[in-house]
Amino acid sequence: MIANRVISKFVLPYDTSSTPYNNSDFDPEVYDLCQQELGSNHLRVAKCIVVGDIAVGKTCLINRFGYNVYANNYKATIGVDFDVQKFEILNTPFSLQIFNIFAIETSIHKLLYH
Ligand SMILES: Nc1nc2c(ncn2[C@@H]2O[C@H](COP(=O)(O)OP(=O)(O)OP(=O)(O)O)[C@@H](O)[C@H]2O)c(=O)[nH]1
Ligand SMILES: [Mg+2]
């Protein structure tokens, strides 16, 4: 597992004025749940859907986050791109599923948003 995907202490925001969250540590409930999960093979899954206007940088953001790469050439996403990143938080493994959805308004958007 990539070292920076192992999160053993709460990650504070880079700039506190740009986030509505002011937590300074994991919720006690998170500590309890992670403690209960220790030693189990159960894989937790979190999901994230990235949406936004055409060519605002959704795909670039995901590629930077997941693979630390950036490409200058624009290739429009067609349909839905799907990525999985594995993490370990407080010794509990989990997968983050990232759905990268193309921007052109189509029936699939209407289906997803309405
Ligand atoms: N200057 C600058 N350009 C960026 C940045 N992020 C992305 N781009 C450029 O913007 C263009 C579009 O980026 P994408 O990530 O493909 O955009 P997208 O939102 O996925 O576009 P769709 O898939 O069509 O919805 C590309 O040419 C990128 O190189 C940024 O932070 N700064
Ligand atoms: Mg894209």
Give all domains of the chain, ordered by start, each with its CATH number.
3-113 (3.40.50.300)
Q: Is the per-residue pLDDT at 1 higher than 50?
A: no
How many Å apart are CA 22 and CA 12, to the nearest integer?
9
pTM over 0.75: yes
* Residue 28: predicted pLDDT: 94
The CB of 51 under 6 Å from ligand 1? The reply is no
Amino acid at 49: I
Q: pLDDT of 19-28, one tens digit each? A: 898 889 999 9
Among residues 48, 22, 44, the alpha carbon closest in space to that of 90 is found at 44
Q: In the structure, what pLDDT confidence band is assigned to residue 2 with cuts at 50, 70 and 90?
A: low
Which of 49, 59, 106 has the most ligand 1 atoms within 8 A of CB, as the residue to mutate?
59
* Residue 50: predicted pLDDT: 93
